Structure 1
Amino acid sequence: MPDTPAPPVFTPREVRLIVLGLTLALFLSSLDQTIVATALSAIASDLGGWELMPWVVSSYLIASTVTTPIYGRLSDLYGRRPVLLASITLFALGALLSALAWSMPMLIAMRVVQGLGGGGLRAISLAVVGDILPPRERGKVQGYLSATFATANISGPVLGGLFVEYLSWPWIFWINLPLGAAAFAATYFQLRRLPRPGRRPRIDWLGALLIVLSCTPVLVGITLVQRAGHWTAPEAWGCFLLGAVFLVALVAQERSVPQPMLPLHLFRNGVFRTAIIVTGLASMVMMALTVLVPLHYQMVGGLSAKEAGLRMIAMTLGSVSGSFLAGQAVTATGRYRFLPILGSSTALAMCLVVAWLGLGHSLWLDTLVTLALGLGFGCQFSPITVVVQNAVDPRDGGVAVSCMMFFRLMGGAFGVALLSALLLGRLPDHGATAAPAQAAEAFSLVFLAAAGLAALCLAAALALKEQPLRGRD
């Protein structure tokens, strides 16, 4: 393992400037996952290739997800600053070429380039916090970053719609250039003092390739399940089987090399393993409800798309507030276990309430329930990053956090596919001709399933061990 010098002590002003750059980087990677959604119709009308339209989103999601653990490991071996700068540059290049795309295949290819950069932005932004602050003091900053993630997820569709309506669809990519330049400048100047490993690393390139080959088919299979609306599509299961074959090869490879791209000893750490399960299950519930609650408003409550979007603001505010308050609580108390327990309990209770009462009938009830859901999600996500960083050797900090983010993203993808397929399977013609009563019954089953996932998350949170958070000493 490479030698890792002790990180320097940063002043409060330096920490604020670094966090600003990290916030911009994380906002970029998260925003680009959602800002394209409302512009897809305009893009397809301009470039043609309607049948390829879904891959404009999926290509970025797949590329950014499968590279997340690779970037984390590279930052452990080469240092955070050079890898983060390379990620920002690659992301901005992909955005520039996407804005200039003259055909749908070219746009999809450039979205892959952008996703290759986006995976590094997301993974390393969280890992850098572990280099500039001890675990006891990270809660507040991780709360800010988690709030940024939630804000980007909800503001993306809104910004995409505004750009299309008042400017043109390439602006959803042009906006990344000034934000990327600001993130690059902040990272370039403020992270120069971070130490770099002293020894020349030996890169497990075969392990990196096997990570890509094992994860990409799984994500493609999930995409096919979402499109089909059921889990019986043979092409999807073919993808899952192919991913499983490469996963076996990945495990064999990582056991045999001295510096593996994905250190398997991390998964022997009980706290790390439990935290991964908590964040994966929480993401399954959150991402699925982010997609399905607006549909519920429209199909059961009879609200317009605009009204449904406005009622989602409460969930966003709750998630941002929950992340911020949870981060403050970790820093103030030095304890974290009670937060995912509280968050998953709240999510479980609210899913049961929605399954029983439904949404779209009362503005006040909708606001109260979705606000509580958001608060629950915020309490689950913000502390877990600190838990993971505190539980592992600092030399594995980057790959540990990136693994956490990877399982969070994979959990979200599986959650959306699982509950969407369950919903569509209960509706005639995939919901096109469903009466409100039929839709209400189907959504009730979906929210009961979400409550089941939240209950599993609660069980995992109860199994999470409390470890003292390291301070500066």
Structure 2
Amino acid sequence: MKASDVSGKKTVLIMIGVMLSVFLSALDNTIAGTAMPRIISDLKGIELYAWPFTIYMLCSTISIPIFGRMADLYGHKLTYFSGIAIFLAGSVLCGFSSNMPQLIVFRGIQGVGGGTLIANSFIIVGSLFPPAERAKYMGFVAAVIGLASIIGPMLGGVITDGLSWHWVFFINIPVGLGALSFILFALPGGEARSVKRKIDLPGAVTFVIALVPALLAFTWAGRIYAWSSPHIVGMFAFSAVMFIIFGLIERKTVEPLIPLSLFKNPIFNLCIVDVFFVSCLMFGAVMLVPLFVQNVLGANATTSGAMIMPMTVSLVIGGAITGVLIAKTGRYKIFGLAAMLIIVAGAFMLQQIDEQSSSSRIILTLTILGAGIGITMPVFDLASQNAFPQSQLGLVTSMIQFSRNIGGTIGSAILGSIMLSHMNAGIARLSETNLSPVMKGLVENSQFAVETQLLNRAGVGLSDVHQLLGQLKTIQANSIHQAFLVSFWVGVVGLAAILFLKEIPLRKTNEKMEVHSRS
């Protein structure tokens, strides 16, 4: 499919449908963030705090390469329709969840649909426009993803405070139906290939079996089990073995799910690495900043979401402007380097916030961080696509999106694990002090972090309540600081990696080319 194959009006409608679709998928990565304290208050289970984020990202990540391949076989239109249908069904089920395990399962269903949408969006844009022209459209779509990812917390806070957390999920219905109407009308059908091709089912199954234990290990390490425990070491070992088996399967398969030849391209490898690190930083901030603002600074869900809004603005502007500049200059490395420098500066400021930090300081920090993240979005997608022939567009695009998702998944899991590990250690130290039995029982109650009102219902003195609240807030502030400190060093590694990114001229057509970027 090329822009010349459809009318100008339908091209516009396709782009609107694409942007609504990625908005729908990206929105649910973050919209539940500011609602989670209220959700946990209703459904209980702070020990499962990271799982609604983690399971969504895991399922969407797994579905990207699988449904990306299915789109090649059965057409983008049918795959898009399936993705939206699955996503909307998951949204309804999430809204009716009555406990945390139900919510986690239904978020997984949402993730499958969301990943299906993301897998096809950038592929369609790449099919419509050549690399030299594609950058500005990539910038617009990336800006929409950034907008949805960052506006999610504020929207989630407004909905949670104004209606209830259930509507955080029900709000997906009108957006999904809007996307569906544009796609059904404008996107050409009949894209399935005339030659029968098989999905790499053994590879897909092995890939899922390899990935899930690794994610579980990252999520549980430092929280439920020690990093050196047999459970964690065993899961990592099992995952490593399964990835080796997956590699052997892919080497022998005629049409592998993930061809290993991709990793012979240095541009592709560096894009994968930096997309992973940037995603770790972004989703870590989106998950932990609302928690910090609500539980440490004492703000409500709406306020915590509003404080992230400037990050939305800077991210959207950064992505959109960068796409236009790349299209005009034909250069992309300089923008990637500038973006990583800005991200490192923002991450450094983020790890310095504490209980005394003002709202304006947090907003400035997030604005700087958002600008850097926005600039990266069109850079790495375009650089990787430009390094391969058009015939591999879908495969390369899916892998970049896969790396972006897995970065968010693992980043959220590790940063959440670091926070909870330090928080539990702080609670343990506090419970060993000379507290009354009632106060000690409250400290050891894992719900205290999101239900500090328990202290007021415990029948203890007001001064004791305020003193203990202050100690608990300090513990949580220090715990989140440790997670932000790790985020900073992740950014430093990403900055070092981009120095080695090779720049090649952007193609002005979608004709076949030799992959001359390999080394």
| TM range, smaller chain | 0.7 to 0.9
- The aligned amino acid for 2:218 is I
TM-score using structure 1 length: 0.86
Paired residues for 1:48-447 under 5 Å = 55-99=51-95, 106-192=102-188, 195-225=191-221, 227-228=223-224, 231-232=227-228, 234-295=230-291, 302=297, 304-305=299-300, 307-355=303-351, 361-426=357-422, 428-429=426-427, 434=471, 446-447=483-484
Residue 489 (structure 2) aligns with: 452
Say which SS state the counterpart of residue 349 (structure 1) adopts: helix
Give a deviation string over 1:309-336, Cα, whole Å, max 9, x none: 4332222222121111111111221211
Checking the alignment, whether the CA contact within 8 Å between 1:340 and 1:379 is kept in structure 2 is yes
Partner Cα separation in structure 1 for residue 381 and residue 234 of structure 2: 34
- Measured in 1, the distance between the counterparts of 2:412 and 2:51 equals 16
Q: Any conservation in 1 of the 2:75–2:189 contact (CA below 8 Å)?
A: no
Partners of 1:412 and 1:231 lie apart in 2 by: 20
CA separation in 1, counterparts of 2:19 and 2:218? 29
CA deviations over 1:6-54 (Å, ceiling 9, x no partner): 7744454333211111111111112223333444566667778887776
Larger Rg: 2
Distance in 1, matches of 2:50 and 2:481, equals 28
Alignment of 1:461 onto 2:459? no
378-387 vs 416-425, which moves further: 416-425
Instruction: After TM superposition, give the deviation of residue 275 of structure 1 in Å.
Output: 0.8
Contact 2:353 2:362 in 1 (8 A): no
Partner of 2:454: none
Structure 1 residues not aligned, in runs of 5+: none
Structure 2 vs 1, CA of residues 180 and 79 (structure 1 numbering), >3 Å: closer, same or farther? Answer: same
* Deviates further, 310-319 or 39-48: 39-48
SS at match of 1:463: coil
RMSD: 3.3
Distance 2:181 2:335 in 1: 35
Write the distance in 1 (CA, Å) between the matches of 2:107 and 2:305.
Answer: 26
TM-score (norm 2): 0.79
Q: Kindly tell me: are residues 239 and 448 of structure 1, through their superposed partners in 2, closer, same or farther at Cα, counting changes over 3 Å?
A: same
- Cα distance, 1:458 vs. partner? 1.3
Task: Report the more deviating stretch, 111-120 or 248-257.
Answer: 111-120
Contact 2:33/2:286 (<8 A) preserved = no
Distance 1:226 1:405 in 2: 28
Q: Which amino acid aligns with 1:23?
A: M
User: What is the CA deviation profile of residues 262-282 of structure 1, one whole-angstrom value per residue up to 9, with x for unaligned ones?
Assistant: 111111112111111111112
SS of the residue 1:67 aligns to: helix
Name the CA shift for 1:115/1:311 in 2 (closer, same or farther; >3 Å).
closer
Equivalent residue letter for 1:304: A
Measure the CA separation in 1 of the matches of 2:156 and 2:381.
29
Q: For 2:74 and 2:209, locate their aligned partners in 1 and report how far apart those are by CA, in whole Å.
A: 23
How many residue pairs get aligned? The number is 468
What secondary structure does 2:84 align onto? helix
Q: Is the 8 A contact 1:287 1:412 kept in 2?
A: yes
Identity of aligned residues (%): 33
For 1:100 and 1:440, the matched residues in 2 are separated by 33
